[in-house]
Structure 1
Amino acid sequence: MNDDILKNQANKTWEMLQELILQNNKQNMEYEQRSKEIDQRFKETDQKFKETYDLIKASSQKTDKYLGKVKEFDRNWGKLVESLVAPSMVEQFKKAKLEIDGMTQRIMKRKHGKTLEIDILLTNSHIVIPIEVKTTLNVEAVNEHIEKHLIPFKMFFPEYKDKTVYGAVAYIHVEENADRFAYKKGLYVLTFGDNDMVIIKNDPQFKPMSF
């Protein structure tokens, strides 16, 4: 009787072990399947990341190329505006009782790792006038000309240290009453008149600021 009980228990134990082994094998198979699926998803994700990176890279290259063309256009357009403004400047300053005997365009100086570029520079024996030329003049451009060009001018160009520095802006279009703002800041203001000639807008009572 005891032998039958032991045999029966052994059979049940064996059946349980077999069931556990089957379950374990099934779980292992499911785990392997999930692992394969996860690996596949990682591969797909990596591919998508690569495709996205390639798209961003291509887009960035196109953007850089476009910005390069825009900058080149701005430079060329700026040169065109300067060439339109420059010819009659000397005569206009003569009318304002300032004799000009020298004019230089696109003058640049590097110092202490910084660069100062002047669009047009007018000179005579005792004064120098750096002129900023803008297609569209706004208040920000006026302030930038004062702070970045006029105030540090003699540091970059010590050869003019004994001369009085006046400032001027020239433009085709104006925003924010920037011409009036420049006048109040003590700058000469130049633009095109009705006959397409450059005129100085400052009245006879104007007193220029020296820098």
Structure 2
Amino acid sequence: MTDQELKDLVASLAINQQKMSEEAALSRQEAAISRQEVDRALKETDKAIKELSKQIGGIANKFGSFTEGLALPSMTKILSEQFGMTTINPSVRVRDKSGNEQEIDVLAYTNGDINTAIIVEVKSHLREEGIEQLLKQCRNFRVLFPELADKKLYGILAAVDASQQLQQKVLAQGLYFAKIHDEQFSLCVPKDFKPFCFTAH
């Protein structure tokens, strides 16, 4: 190889190296821009998901309120006629000793010979958590409502939609179960059902 050919080869390699360096720099720059675009798109997607979650939560709350409103007239009738309740309060909010607010869908009670209170939890679609929620409210009743602590306490879980398995679980816990039929809630308990009295022990 001649000196000139060697010089030309080195020059060619240098030019190719320069081109490759420029292309690599350009690729890095394009990658950085792409990363920025991806980051921006992810932030926009996160924002859209948060907004959608907020809207879905709002719809769920409205549907829950609708279900509670649907349940109230027939529940009021059940509570007064079948259980002798004289005071029926929908949507009761109360704070526990830690300051945590709890909402009870319906709290009913009566004095005198009956001397009983009933907590009603209304669900559009019953899940395990709904059963646990009502059980917790019943167990904490004396703390949440010391003025009613001397009363016998029972729980009713009213649901628009509930699997047979969950209905059985409600009854096994000693809770009454109510289901909607022809836009009216009615109790669905077997004749031998023994409700659990949460404050009798």
Q: TM-score, normalised by structure 2?
A: 0.78
Q: For the structure 1 residues 114 and 19, does the alpha-carbon distance in structure 2 shift closer, same or farther, using more than 3 Å as the test?
A: farther
Counterpart in the other structure of 1:136 = 125
What's the offset of the Cα at 1:45? 1.0
**Unmatched tracts of structure 1, length 5 or more:** 1-14
Structure showing greater Rg: 1
Provide the C-alpha distance between the structure 2 equivalents of 1:152 and 1:25, rounded to a whole number of angstroms: 86
Are the equivalent residues in 2 in contact too, given 1:136–1:175 (CA < 8 A)?
no
Summarize the alignment of residues 70-89 of structure 1 with structure 2, pairs less than 5 Å apart: 70-89=56-75
Amino acid at match of 1:156: L
Q: What is the RMSD of the two structures over their aligned residues, measured on CA atoms?
A: 2.8
Please name the residue that 1:106 is paired with: 91
Matching residue within 27, 42, 67 for 1:41: 27
| Identical residues among aligned pairs (%) | 22
What amino acid is the match of 1:207?
K
CA distance in 1, matches of 2:34, 2:147: 61
Distance 1:145 1:19 in 2: 91
3-state SS of 1:177 partner: helix
Residue identity in the other structure for 1:134: K
User: Is the Cα contact below 8 Å between 1:139 and 1:176 reproduced in 2?
Assistant: no
Indicate conservation of the 8 Å contact 2:141/2:149, yes or no.
no
Equivalent in the alignment of 1:6 = none
Q: Structure 2: 5+ residue runs without aligned partners? A: none
Deviation per CA, 1:26-59: give whole Å up to 9, x if none: 7766555444333222211111111111211222
Alpha-carbon distance, 1:140 to partner: 4.3
Of stretches 159-168 and 30-39 in structure 1, the one that deviates more from structure 2 is: 30-39
TM-score (norm 1): 0.75
Give the length in aligned residue pairs. Answer: 193
Cα deviation digits, residues 169-198 of structure 1 (max 9, x gap): 01122214322221121111112245x332
How has the CA–CA distance of structure 1 residues 45 and 183 changed in structure 2, closer, same or farther, with 3 Å as cutoff? Answer: same
2:188 is aligned, of 201, 206, 211, to: 201
Match of 1:59 among 31, 45, 57: 45
Matches within 5 A, 1:1-211: 32-96=18-82, 98-111=83-96, 112=98, 114-125=100-111, 126-147=115-136, 149-194=137-182, 196-211=183-198
SS in 1 for 2:159: strand
CA displacement at 1:207 relative to structure 2: 2.5
Assess if the C-alpha contact under 8 Å between 1:138 and 1:177 holds in 2.
Answer: no
